[in-house]
Structure 1
């Protein structure tokens, strides 16, 4: 278990919140990392490949002494049904993601966590998987 999540510094958090995944694509290092990640994956929706879903402000995180940027994106037509959680190392040269899909006809009274399909992108290690799962668990509609 990760001992603690720490906000890096208020200026770093403010800077991270000024961007989202779509605007981060303007960064050459991140764009290269994202393209490498997508080349290694198959059968992904275009909104993930191009990061053109509904995007949310990024957060600066620290885990196990390393700094990361965390961002999320969702499918524009089904934001509650398809989400992407992305963890980027601070230098933006490596990205990992968790693609979460829920069945289309899932009843509202069912726990999404029991019916979701999780797909790891970029082969994150156990620590990074845990970081991404903890971010998913913080979603208001995830139980």
Structure 2
């Protein structure tokens, strides 16, 4: 009997969802409320953490370039995870006076996969273009 139940559960995952949420009559919590409750709070905080090579600045990097765009001066740089630069990279732009920073994180499991890209610091279109150009310059297409 236990084997049949396990087979049934694997064969009918949609039915299992219905069983676990019968009729959805109970009031479900709001997603934002879960962010305040353990263990969801811990899982949410862990999800937001950057890998150590980013958060601690333990990275292989390029010299920064001073660029001017839109009449403003910026420092443009590139970081990557030591011993895994092909798969874990961060392009970053700092306002010359240090009051703001924007980034584009590029991660993938291996070279056969496309990069997953995440914007950091809410860059405007001008900063996005600068970050994308920097990444393309450092990662030219294979011949």
TM-score by length of 2: 0.62
Alpha-carbon distance in structure 2 between the residues aligned to 1:142 and 1:76 = 21
Aligned length: 97
For 2:66, the equivalent position in structure 1 comes to: 60
8 Å Cα contact 1:136/1:142 also seen in 2: no
Within-5 A mapping of 1:100-139: 100-104=106-110, 106=112, 115-139=114-138
Consecutive aligned runs of 4 or more in structure 1 exceeding 4 Å deviation: none
- Which has the bigger relative contact order, CA under 8 A and spacing at least 6? 1
Structure 2, unaligned stretches of length 5 or more? 1-44
Deviations 1:44-66 (A, max 9, x none): 10111111111211100011111
Alpha-carbon distance in structure 2 between the residues aligned to 1:49 and 1:94 = 16
Alpha-carbon distance in structure 2 between the residues aligned to 1:61 and 1:95 = 14
TM-score by length of 1: 0.62
Bigger Rg over Cα: 2
SS in 1 for 2:138: coil
Distance 1:105 1:69, change over 3 A: closer
- Tell me how large the CA RMSD over aligned residues is: 2.1
Alpha-carbon distance in structure 2 between the residues aligned to 1:75 and 1:104 = 13
